[in-house]
Structures are given as C-alpha cells and as structure tokens.
Amino acid sequence: MVKLQINEIVKNYEVDSKTINVLDKVKFSINESESVVIVGPSGCGKTILIRIIAGLETPDSGEVILNNKKISGPDPNVMLVFQSSSLLPWRTVLENVELSLLDKEDEERRETALRYIDLVGLDGFEGSYPRELSNGMRQRVDIARALCREPEVLLMDEPFSMLDPLSANNLRNEVLRIFMDENGPIESMITITHNIEEAVIMADRILVMSQRPSRIIADVEVDLPYPRNRRGRKFNDLIDKITSLITL
Amino acid sequence: MKGRHILIFAIFIAIALFYTMGEEALMVPYYILRSLLRMTSAYILTLIFSLTFGILIAHNERAFRILFPVMDILQSIPVLGFVPFAMFFLITVFPGFGTEIVSIFLIFTSMTWAVLFNIVEGVKTIPSYIKDISKMNNIKGLNYLFHVVLPALYPPLISGSVTGWGGAWYFLVVGEYLIFADNIYILSGIGSFISKSAYSGDMVLSLLGIGVLAVVVLSINRFVWQPLLFRARKYSYGCQETYIESGESAVLALENAYREGVKEKLTKSKFFSSFFGKLFSFLGISPYSKIKKEETLSLSFLALLFIILVGLGSFIAYETSEFVEGWMVLSYSLRTIIRIIIAYLLALFWTLAVALSIARNKELLRMLMPIFDVGQSIPAVAVFPIIVVIVIQVFGGGLGIEIASVFLIMTGTQWYLLFNLIRAIRSIPGEILDLSKIMRLNTSQRLRNIIIPAIIPAIIIGSVEAIGGGLNATIVSEYIVYKDQVFYTEGLGYMMAEGAALGDSTAIILSVISMMLIVLLVNKFVWKRMLEKVERYSFGEGHG
Ligand SMILES: Nc1ncnc2c1ncn2[C@@H]1O[C@H](COP(=O)(O)OP(=O)(O)O)[C@@H](O)[C@H]1O
Ligand SMILES: [Mg+2]
C-alpha cells in the first residue's frame, strides 16, 4: 500500500535576481511500514525537500499526497525532526513534549508525554531544562515530541549528525526499535543523511539525489535483515554502490 | 550590591534626613510611595501599550507599514513636549486629578519606547525553528501567544523595561513639578521634593533627595529587575546580559501567579480561546505571519511633510506670539545642535574609555553597575545647585551657563552610550579575543582591528538613544532655576521651557517640531545609513 507520494516537486529560489532551480521534478513514493533514506551531496536540496513534505514550505509546482489525499500545509500525520535540536529554552523536557499535545485534555497530555519520554530513554529528566541536557538527550526530546503525536509518517533531517558516534549509534538503534515495533506509533519513515553507512543501516530503500538541479537518480533496495551486520559483505557492497552513485 | 548594603545606606540617609529636616522627614516615605505609584501606573500602561502594538506590528504587514513609522515619529517627540498640551486638555477636562494623569502620561512617554522597540525587535529574532514547531503542532491563538510569543519576548521585554524604567526616573522630577502659563502644579513625590530643593538652591536637601532616589533605585534593581533578568537568562537562546546578580524574590512569586492565574485560566476558557483565536487570525498574529522588510520610508516622509506644514502654520502665526521672532527657530536649533554634539562627543569619549577598561572585568562591573544605575536616574534638575554654585560662580554668567548646560545635557546622554557599550563589549565572543592573543596583537592593534569594529553597531544604537535623550534634556539644561533666579542660554530647550512658562503655544509647537525634525533627520540620514553599512559586521546568524 502506498502511504505517501511525492509528485514532480519543483522548487526555485531567487538569489540576487537570478533563479536557482533547486528541486527539479522530484518524484517518488513510499509504502506503508517502509523506512526510506534519502542521501545526496551537500546543498542539493534535501532539507528543502523534507520541509516541503512536512508542509513547512510550498513547492513551486508538484504535490505531496498522503493516503491518496493532497496535503497543503502541516498535517498532524506528518512530523518532522530537525537537524539540530529545536526545543523551546523556557520549557522543561516534559513541557516541550507536551507542546505537541496542546489540543489534548490535561490528564491525557501528561500521561502520553511521560510515556514517550520514557520510550526515548529520558525517564527521570522530565523536569530538566534543555540547556541542562547533552546534545544527544536534546535530540531524544525532539524525537519524543514528534513521536507522541503518533504520526503515520515520521520525517527526520540528519537527526543524528550533531551527536558523537556512540550516542548517534544508540539513538539510531532506539529509533529503529520503535519503528519496527508492530504496535508502535509510526508507520513509515523518511530519514535524510549524508552518512552512507547510516543509510544502509536504516533503510528498506535508499534514494539518491543528484547535484542541483536535483532529482532522484537512483532507488536502491536494501534487502538485509534487521539488525544489520556492519561487517557483512553485502553490507559493504551496498556502501560502495551508494558511494559511487553519489560521487557520479 | 547586596540587600544588606542598601539597608545600611538607607539608614544613613534616613538619619541625615532627620538631622536636617526634623519631623518633616517622616513625609519622605509617603513621597516615595506616591512616586512609586506613579511609576508603576506608567509602567503598567507601558506594558499594555507596547505589548499590544509591539506584537501587532511585528506580525501584521499592514500594521507594520502604517504603525511602525507612526511610532517612529511619535518617539521623536520630546518627552516634555507633550506636557503643555496634555496639561491644557486634562486639567480642563478632569479638574481634580488632571495633573496626576499628566504626570503619569509624561512618565509613560519616557519609558514606553525602549520597551516597544525592544519587543518589535524581539519578535523578529524569534528563531525560525520555533515558528516551524508551532506550525507543525498547529499552535495558534492564545496558545501561540502564551506558549510561544510571550515567553520568547521575555528577555527583550525585561531588558527594555530596565532601560525604560531607569530612564523614567530622570523625568519623574519634571513630571511632579509641572509648569504651565504662570501656574506651577506640584505633586507630592520624591521628584518634586528634589526639584523644590534644587530650585530653592538648598544644596544639602538636593543631595539628600538624590540619596533617597538612590536607595529607591537600588532597591528596585536589586529586588525586582535583577531576579527578572536572572530568570530571563533561562529563557534566552544564549545571549549575554551586562551583569546579573542571581536572586529569588516576591517578584518571581508574582510571576508564578501570572502563570497559574492568567495564563492557565485564559487558555482553558472556551470563550476567551475562541474569541482570541478569531481576533488573532483576523489580525494575522500567527507563526505564519511574515513581514517583508522596509519601504516605510515614504510614509515617514509623508508624516515629516505633515510636521513641516504644521510648523509653517505656526510660523505664520508668529504675529500672535510675543516671544518668537525672525529667524529665532533656526538660530536656536543650531545652538542646541552644537551643544548636543559637544555633549555627545564628551560622553562618547568617557563612556568608551570606561567601558573598554571595565566591561570584561566581572569584579569591577559588579561594583560599578549599581553606581551607574543610580547615575542614570539622577535628574539634571537635582544637580542644578551644585552646577550653579561651582560652574557659574567660577566662569561667570555667559561662559559658565554655556558650560553648565553642556554638562547637564550630558546627564541625559551618556548613560545610553555607556550601557550599550558595556553590553556590546561583554558579548564579543571569547574565541575572537583569544585569537587576538594568539596573534600577539598589542593593545592598539586589538582595539582597532577587533574591539572597535565589533562594537560599532552598539555605538550607533547607543548614539540614537543618546541624541534623543540629549534633546530631551535640553529643556532642563538650557533653563536653570536657582534661588528663584532663572539662568538660561538660548536654544530649543530654553524656547520650550520659556514657552511653557509664558503659555505661548507658538513657541512650544515650534520647539517641539524642530526637535522632532532634528531626531528624524539625524536618524534617517546619519544613523540608519551607518547601521546599514556595518550590518555585515555583526555576529548574527548567517544564512543557509
Ligand atoms: N531561503 C532560501 N533562499 C535562497 N536559497 C536557498 C534558501 N534555502 C535554501 N536555499 C538554497 O537551496 C539549496 C539547497 O539547500 P538545502 O536543502 O539546505 O540543502 P541540503 O541538501 O544540504 O540540505 C542550497 O544550495 C541553498 O543555497
Ligand atoms: Mg540539510
């Protein structure tokens, strides 16, 4: 079943009265319970693409279709985790997570928020302020805030790039665990990264974007069982393949 | 400054007061209370006014286009320029308490602009990720106001309030001693206590008045603003305040009461939620609002044209004035401008020297900041007797008065510069200073290549406020009353003060308009241009 369709998205920017064509008819689709990772050279428009899918930017043409319905603007079923932590400095961890549940009743809001704080491994830090947390912990709060809306599609823009390798690895595994959980909140997931190994660890499919004006130039299945063994031959072959596609 | 020190100082002042005034000293607490009530009422008005308009201007394109230039023009009206008209109007409409309203209004106009423009700037600098979060979670209406905008505005609101409140003490003195057409209206308060002492030439009482003012200013800074600034630091995205002493106090309890009382009640109430939801979406106050920059120029110029027309009107009405004649306005403007430039340069010189030598020294700053805070609040009027006795006595009538008035103008000029400079020097990133050490720059190389370029925007912004403050100060600097004798030197301030004393509205209008023109033209053609040139120096976030 197709969950999300990205239809011929075009995005241009006007810089010094010159038009830069950033996205040139980007087109792909994502199935239910699929984890898709998008890789591409720096500056090719990955962030813009995912912000368009999240409804934060409007494309110049093309459309985003969720469950066969065109979406315009932010949709409660699509949630984006930003590249760097985006917590409000004046709210505690709990209050930050609760921010995405303001429409719920007090009781339910608190209970849901606590459950997701627990889920991302921040039990005991509900009352801390963002400035008191490490980068990794802040990113966990961001993820909890996105998850607690139980979005059908979770979008993540280089979610682990600000973390040290060890915490990145841990958090990545947690996210994968939550995603794999049959009863878990999310159905499909799009992750952006420039770390090819990360792409192979996380993806059912890897989409490769070209230089500007960018489009999808390759769509690679990753047919490996989770959790993935980083030293397998197939794993390494895939890394080589994606690397050669990007530097093409 | 510890509470203990303030208490010791207060006791000392109290003893001195009893020693000089006897029983009458018992009235002083009452004066303090009255003045504080006035200041607080003006501050509440300021909060309502600047939050409403600040948030609206920062969100609504049309409001921005129309109201921003209007506010820009209004803020150029000298604080004391309103008084005669407000007096005329209010005293006839509300005979009983009209003067009280005039006084509060005057204090309000002296504190509100710092807060308003800080708020507008504050909304603009809300990081875009916060708006994105609000969009994605569909946060709007009262939720957007209480959970996003107000907390994000907390730091600029508090720092604007400190500036505005601090500046208002300076005008309290005039606000409690109103002069209009042969009538003097004295409102009891610490300000009128000081002006009475000063005008009658009682130097000891003037000094004691300053002492009382100092106790009040220091206490409020210690028990109100410091805790709020401390809390504001928690709310900010990592900017540096001049100097903050930590502390908890009753103010924070008040703030918590707001949280639970106002915020919770309002956001929970169905009626208010839907009412404000509709209102805000009508006004465009939402995370989606975007202000396309600028093009306010034409409107400002229309308004300028209007001012010029009014000015011409009064010009024609010359005949009716017993005071204004010939090219008086031009020659007075020129004299005032020269005085202000001299005062500004002197102020720039000393504040730069002081800021450079103390801003990076935490210990020194801790000691000196309270003194500067008090310094800012000391009104020109209060130093009249000292000035008159020393300067005019020594240098004689002509030159003495000239020197005295430049010195008095400085009292309204220097503090804006000093505070802006200290803040700017403190916020130069440590890495850059380390870099200069690694590169083994000597002091003058470091000043020329690193520190001065880094603080130029702050110098310009401080200068905008300083010139405005200086013009405001001319009214009490070019017209000095000492032992019932008037010392004056010709200029716009003198023209306004004399106009008010004579009840000559042509003189008042012409002096107000000339001052507005000076402020607007200097802002537009000097400071704005300079700011645009140096904008790329700033440490602000880049794009991408
Ligand atoms: N607001 C903007 N105005 C002009 N150009 C922009 C804007 N935002 C992004 N761009 C351009 O679009 C390109 C793609 O940006 P981005 O999506 O951030 O790339 P990345 O793939 O590294 O995430 C960049 O080269 C940038 O110059
Ligand atoms: Mg990016």
B128 part of contact set with chain A, CB < 8 Å: no
Q: Tell me how far apart the alpha carbons of residues B544 and B535 are, in angstroms, rounded to a whole number.
A: 18
**How many C-beta atoms lie closer than 10 Å to residue A96's C-beta?**
26
Nearest residue by C-alpha to atom 16 in ligand 1: A45
Full pLDDT tens readout for chain B, 544 residues: 678 889 999 999 999 999 988 888 889 999 999 999 999 999 999 999 999 999 998 899 888 888 888 888 888 888 887 777 777 777 777 777 788 888 999 999 999 998 998 898 888 888 889 999 999 999 988 999 999 999 999 989 998 999 899 889 988 988 898 877 778 889 999 999 998 888 888 888 988 999 999 999 999 988 888 888 888 877 776 544 444 555 556 677 777 778 777 888 888 888 888 888 899 888 889 888 887 766 555 666 667 777 777 777 766 666 566 777 767 888 999 999 999 999 999 999 999 999 998 988 888 988 898 899 888 888 888 887 777 778 877 887 788 889 989 999 999 899 989 998 998 898 888 888 888 778 888 888 888 888 888 888 889 988 988 998 899 889 888 988 888 788 889 999 999 888 888 878 788 888 888 898 888 888 888 888 888 887 765 555 443 3
pTM of the model as a whole: 0.87
Q: Does B236 touch chain A (CB under 8 A)?
A: yes
Q: Which ranges constitute the DSSP H helices of B75-189? A: 83-93, 98-124, 128-136, 141-143, 150-175
Within a domain: B256: no
> Is residue B129 classed exposed, middle or buried when 0-12, 13-18 and 19+ CB atoms within 10 A define those classes?
middle
Residue at B51 is within a domain: yes
**H-state helical runs in A93-211:** 93-98, 106-119, 135-147, 165-180, 196-202
The answer to whether position B143 is within a domain reads: yes
Domain membership flag for residue B320: yes
Distance A215 CA to ligand 1 centre (A): 14
Neighbours of B460 (CB within 10 A): 18
Structural domain contains residue B291? no
Total tally of structural domains belonging to chain B:
1
Q: Find the residue in B nearest to A56 (Cα).
A: B132
Residue B261 forms part of a structural domain:
no
In ligand 1, the atom with minimum distance to the C-alpha of A11 is 12
Can you give the residue range of the structural domain that contains B320? 3-245+302-537
∠ CA B98-B102-B105 to the nearest 5 degrees?
135
Q: Is residue B271 part of a domain?
A: no
B416 within some domain: yes
Q: How far does A228 lie from chain B, in Å, by closest CA?
A: 33
User: Ligand 2 center to residue A157 CA distance, Å?
Assistant: 7
Chain B interface, mutation test: which of A58, A85, A90, most B Cβ atoms within 10 Å?
A90
Instruction: Report the run of H or E that residue A64 belongs to, with start and end.
Output: strand A61-66
ipTM: 0.88
Cα of A42 vs centre of ligand 2, distance in Å, is: 7
Residue of B129, B135, B136 best to disrupt the A interface, most CBs of A under 10 A = B136
